[in-house]
Homo-oligomer: A and B are copies of this chain.
Amino acid sequence: MSTRPPSAADLIANHGGRVTRTRVAVVDALDASNHPLTHDEVAANLSEAEVPHDRVTLYRALDWLVDKGIAHRVAGSDRAWRYGIVREAPHQHAHFHCSGCGNVFCLEQVQPAFAIALPGGYQLDRAELILHGICPTCRQAEPTAPSPEPR
């Protein structure tokens, strides 16, 4: 017998939270995605699943999940946070920002471990590595696109 992954409800209850409609649906939505989602994307997801929800409640649910370490939050290039389920703690890896679709992908394989010669006086706490480029899906959509991008 292998241990099954905990249900959304279990995850929430195990962290001392009340199991509510929105929280369960949010965890399910994040868990089903292969990349972190914006508040708006989660909302769309819930709407599609016909789960009634409130904008503010959704923000609070996401915040709570991050606070409990169930989800993590990563900044996008468009100043909207992305929320992703935490699949392996601690959450420390590079993130890939696709300039095609705008999605952010967690690269769990790429652990930013490098020695940095910091100028004097700076006290380093945490390093964040962000890679910009084209994700596999967008790349396949336009394989050899020159994308002239006139300056």
Contacts and interface: CB of A to CB of B under 8 A. Distances in A.
Contacts of A139: 121-123
Contacts of A77: 75
Interface residues of A, number: 37
A88 interface: no
Interface of A: 67, 75, 77, 79, 94, 96, 99, 105, 107, 109-110, 112, 114, 116-136, 139-140, 151
Contact of A117 (B110, B119, B122): B110
Nearest to A80: B79
A73 to B, nearest CB: 11
A127 B126 CA distance: 17
Contact of A136 (B99, B120, B131): B120
A32 B128 CA distance: 28
A127 B131 contact: yes
